[in-house]
Structure 1
Amino acid sequence: MLQTLLLISLLLPLLFIFFKPKSKSNTNSPPKSYPLIGHYLSVYTNRHRLIHWTSDAVRNSPTSTFLLRRPFGQTRVITSNPAVVQYILKTKFSSYQKGDIFRTTLFDLLGDGIFNVDGDAWKFQRQLSSHEFNTKSLKHFVEKVVDAELNERLIPMLTNATVNNTVLDLQDILQRFTFDNVCKIAFGYDPENLTPSLPQAKFACAFEDAVRICSERFRTITPLVWKLKSLLNMGSEKRLKQAVLEIREFANKIASEKRQERDNKSSIQSVDLLSRFLSSGHSDEKFVTDMVISFILAGRDSTSAALTWFFWLVFKNPEVESEIVKEVNEKSDSPVFDEVKEMVYTHAALCESMRLYPPVPVDTKAASEDDVLPDGTVVKKGMMISYHPYAMGRLEKLWGKDWMEFRPERWLEKDETTDNLRLKTIDPYMYPVFQAGPRICLGKDMAFLQMKRVVAGVLRQFKVVPVVDEGSEPVFVAALTSKMKGGFLVKFKERK
């Protein structure tokens, strides 16, 4: 195996020298595929902008579906066709699951957690988790967890930055904010990651490294590369093992403390996710930690990514910002939970932001049998099928000629009975930002409530001003979730 990999590593650079694509700017011509290596040369040329390259490929396809030829005969279907998305996420749901490649790639981090299993294991965990997203739990999350983090940490930090004219990395701040929140709701534990000193907590750093390295595994030319590195305990794979060990040691420590708390009948019982799992009789150590790690991944990275791009777009569109601030001020006398529920325009603005910059830009399933997709694409058993929310948000045929504009109004309509604005019903398979079908995100409502509470708290008091060169745009980079390359440097101004 080692000799084969060494041969590949020597041959591919030579092939790149002789057959290097002439230009990556001509997005209208189809990528060139070669025998044996497929689209490798184009992929290599665009390795720093793969999300944009694959988006161009599917948008320029007549069927909005592109066949990515990988080396050694592997083929992956990438689509932005809503009919195909509905087919794999709903119509033939049982035939398009996570699959062995996805599961193996993320197993070290997620284990048998809900995002990494199929069939009965997935059904069981989803049913168990669904109890955490009822109205009572959501209200507690917003009024106790999010509001405390907002008023006791985030707002004082931004106030101090305003007074001292300090530049902050808002992407980092929001990741810390959501990390504290999700640890409180998942573990009943406060990592205090959003404090004035901005500490680099061991658990948070380990989690960041593990997510990054697992994402990099998907981009290797063949899984044999990262598997060999793991076997030899080399480089990033060595760090991944260390990071996962730190994550699980921390999770197991918290779980042990929760068991003691549960056994001590005189103590006040917690209402966090971990305590509920243990109280329900599911005390297997690995099962519990797998579940909670998946919960943290969903609650930390996706929400902070959505908010980061939202604040950028709001800055770029002052008329939208004015409408949001107006709505926020009108709701300021309402109880916290009612306030965020009733922020219809802000909700629309968040939807519009995630249309252009989805937190999970691409998601992948695997075919469990030979099939033919609604657009005529032939699928073989074991083939990977990726649907592309980032590309779908940029399709003129779905969103019209003004798809490039940040326009929350496209999500709104008038309620004929009250004459008030309300959210339109949008086809979830045309906007699968939270997935759709049986596997639609359980935490969707929780995410919107948290985001709207943050938006209200920040924009009511501050104007967010990015520190960027005039005319420059931040770079969208994609891993398991999206990020803004290099962070999001901003200053805050007190709103008059």
Structure 2
Amino acid sequence: MLEPSILFCCLLPFLFIFIKSFPTIFSNKHKSNPFIVNYFSLYTNRHHLIQWTSKIVNSSPTLTIIIRRPFSPNRVITANPEVVHHILYTKFSTYPKGEMIRTTLSDFLGEGIFNIDGDNWKFQRQISSHEFNTKSLRNFVENVVDFELNERLIPILKTAAVNETVLDLQDILQRFTFDNICRIAFGYDPGYLTSSLTKPEFAVAFEDAVRITTERFPVITPILWKIKRFFNVGSEKRLREAVLEVRRFARKILNEKKQEPAGKSLDGSSDLLSRFISSGYSDERLLTDIVISFILAGRDTTSSALTWFIWILCKNPKIEEKVVKEIREKSDSPIYDEVKDMVYTHASICESMRLYPPVPLDSKVCSADDIWPDGTVMKKGTMVTYHTYAMGRLENIWGQDCMEFRPERWLEKDDSTTKVKFVAKDSYMYPVFQAGPRICLGKDMAFVQMQKVLASILRKFKVVPVVDVNIEPVLELGLTLKMKNGFPVRIVKR
């Protein structure tokens, strides 16, 4: 048996590391330093990670925290707009996706646009940008979205209203946006939103792939999930099976597209996948990666934003009245002009995404030693995360009423017309669609789609949550922000 003095000496280094890793609250003279949080605190709060990290980050004098992780590089989380500007613009090339993130996501996203850097990313982005011009937006609303609404979504809601059926609105909206992105990006109609609401094998596989891939990030060290993947056991075995099913579906889309003589979409216009094929992309795996990436972006982000918007609107009936009033005033306008001019609705959507951003956290990797504007010293290889959810709750940006849902903060009177106009916020204070060179290409398309969907639903129906709207749903963090266990509602005709 070891002498107490020898045992103490042996344990001393571990004791030092343990104490050093605990949250450190600095005095005023150390205000330039970020808070330091240990990984075990993070793990303890893993079931409400978004809210917990938001509170800690916003309590830090620099709006930045450092998470010390055993066996892995530190991770830094920030809600500081100056730092976000530094990461996403000033030192853009220093903060790529990086090998650590690419490896974590590669089994699912491969070499798709959201998981790559450098020339390959630039080329994919350049080709994709052609799909988001004004002509494409008008076509998207007047053909794709309008068809999906009138032929599928609205009939399902009518039936639910008549039969007083409880629907999971989160699931319904995911199906809707999935069909939409497949039609506009690939010229392919999967018919996922049907009256039977059966869940095909692909959909289950896609959701499992997103969930398990996301679960790789918080683990104590990447070695753990890599070992499970090597031996093909547990969640990694299911991920492999799910990815195979997702890729089978993506290849089906690709093969049907290749068989089209003119590479045209359902309405005769060139679609995104056709552009990639005609540009010289011939590698089947790479084209499959592109398909999966755009399904993820088009399905999950928009449906997340719509789900949280409708929930928060139900909590605020006076704001709902204003939105419905505006929608009815625009009912005689042409389809595209109708959604383009819905200023109050647009402001309300932005306000909802401020509080519940579809992508609440986004990460990069520091590729070279750096010093941030807030004084944080960055080492090469550190994972960096900007906390969009926390930034939407900063008093020094949004005021003391930052926790209130107030669309008016996005509006001001236009002196020349006496009408109210929408005023956008700086994208580095509100990075819901990212910012800088990687700002979301589909931003305008997402707004047009959301406004058209809301106009069609809210003009005819009132959505009544089955659960108590005063109790916030449990936040489920995947690659996007969802409500755990869905959003059960009843549909009532207005």
SS of 2:462's partner is strand
Distance across 2 between alignment mates of 1:136 and 1:421:
27
Unaligned residue ranges in structure 1 (runs of 5+): 1-14, 24-29
TM-aligned CA deviation for residue 103 of structure 1: 0.3
Distance across 2 between alignment mates of 1:269 and 1:441:
26
Deviation sequence 1:259-284 (CA, Å, 0-9, x none): 2212799x996633222222333222
Amino acid at match of 2:240: K
Partner in structure 1 of residue 210 of structure 2: 211
Distance across 1 between alignment mates of 2:124 and 2:293:
11
TM-aligned CA deviation for residue 69 of structure 1: 1.1
Distance across 2 between alignment mates of 1:332 and 1:269:
28
Partner in structure 2 of residue 110 of structure 1: 109
What are the residue-to-residue correspondences of 1:200-349 with 2, within 5 Å? 200-262=199-261, 271-349=270-348
SS of 1:282's partner is coil
Alpha-carbon distance change, 233 to 270 in structure 1, aligned in 2, over 3 angstroms? farther
SS of 2:216's partner is helix
Distance across 2 between alignment mates of 1:221 and 1:289:
31
Deviation sequence 1:367-423 (CA, Å, 0-9, x none): 110010000000000111100010000111110000111000000111111111111
Amino acid at match of 1:280: S
TM-aligned CA deviation for residue 291 of structure 1: 1.3
Partner in structure 2 of residue 162 of structure 1: 161
Amino acid at match of 2:189: D
Distance across 1 between alignment mates of 2:355 and 2:152:
30
Give the TM-score, by structure 1 length. Answer: 0.90
Distance across 2 between alignment mates of 1:236 and 1:114:
25
The answer to whether the 8 A contact 2:35-2:64 is kept is no
TM-aligned CA deviation for residue 253 of structure 1: 2.4
SS of 1:48's partner is helix
TM-aligned CA deviation for residue 168 of structure 1: 0.6
Deviation sequence 1:169-228 (CA, Å, 0-9, x none): 101111111111111122222221111110211222221111111001112111111111
Distance across 2 between alignment mates of 1:387 and 1:147:
36
Alpha-carbon distance change, 470 to 412 in structure 1, aligned in 2, over 3 angstroms? closer
Distance across 1 between alignment mates of 2:359 and 2:169:
19
SS of 1:68's partner is strand
Alpha-carbon distance change, 83 to 31 in structure 1, aligned in 2, over 3 angstroms? closer
Partner in structure 2 of residue 89 of structure 1: 88
Q: Does 1:190 align with 2:172?
A: no
Partner in structure 2 of residue 148 of structure 1: 147
> Which has the higher mean CA deviation after the structures are superposed, 419-428 or 298-307?
419-428
Distance across 2 between alignment mates of 1:234 and 1:490:
38
Amino acid at match of 2:182: C
TM-aligned CA deviation for residue 40 of structure 1: 2.6
Q: Does 1:124 align with 2:123?
A: yes
Distance across 1 between alignment mates of 2:371 and 2:99:
21
The answer to whether the 8 A contact 2:95-2:365 is kept is yes
The answer to whether the 8 A contact 2:95-2:367 is kept is yes
Identity, % of aligned positions: 66
TM-aligned CA deviation for residue 472 of structure 1: 2.6
Q: Does 1:45 align with 2:44?
A: yes
The answer to whether the 8 A contact 2:34-2:66 is kept is no
Distance across 2 between alignment mates of 1:251 and 1:372:
42
Amino acid at match of 1:54: T
Distance across 1 between alignment mates of 2:484 and 2:122:
36
TM-aligned CA deviation for residue 22 of structure 1: 13
TM-aligned CA deviation for residue 31 of structure 1: 12
What are the residue-to-residue correspondences of 1:346-361 with 2, within 5 Å? 346-361=345-360
What are the residue-to-residue correspondences of 1:450-461 with 2, within 5 Å? 450-461=449-460
Alpha-carbon distance change, 444 to 264 in structure 1, aligned in 2, over 3 angstroms? closer
Distance across 1 between alignment mates of 2:263 and 2:117:
36
C-alpha RMSD of matched pairs (Å):
2.3
The answer to whether the 8 A contact 1:31-1:57 is kept is no
Deviation sequence 1:451-477 (CA, Å, 0-9, x none): 001100000011111111474321222
Distance across 2 between alignment mates of 1:195 and 1:370:
52
Distance across 2 between alignment mates of 1:270 and 1:359:
29
Partner in structure 2 of residue 177 of structure 1: 176
Deviation sequence 1:92-130 (CA, Å, 0-9, x none): 101111011110000011111110011111111110110
The answer to whether the 8 A contact 1:39-1:71 is kept is no
The answer to whether the 8 A contact 1:31-1:42 is kept is no
The answer to whether the 8 A contact 2:35-2:65 is kept is no
Aligned length: 467
SS of 1:397's partner is helix
SS of 1:262's partner is coil
Alpha-carbon distance change, 397 to 263 in structure 1, aligned in 2, over 3 angstroms? closer
What are the residue-to-residue correspondences of 1:60-99 with 2, within 5 Å? 60-72=59-71, 74-99=73-98
Deviation sequence 1:340-365 (CA, Å, 0-9, x none): 11111101000000000000000001
SS of 1:97's partner is coil
The answer to whether the 8 A contact 1:68-1:75 is kept is yes
Amino acid at match of 1:179: F
The answer to whether the 8 A contact 1:262-1:269 is kept is no
TM-aligned CA deviation for residue 242 of structure 1: 1.3
Distance across 1 between alignment mates of 2:269 and 2:252:
16
Amino acid at match of 1:295: F
Amino acid at match of 1:391: A
The answer to whether the 8 A contact 2:71-2:221 is kept is no
Alpha-carbon distance change, 86 to 263 in structure 1, aligned in 2, over 3 angstroms? closer
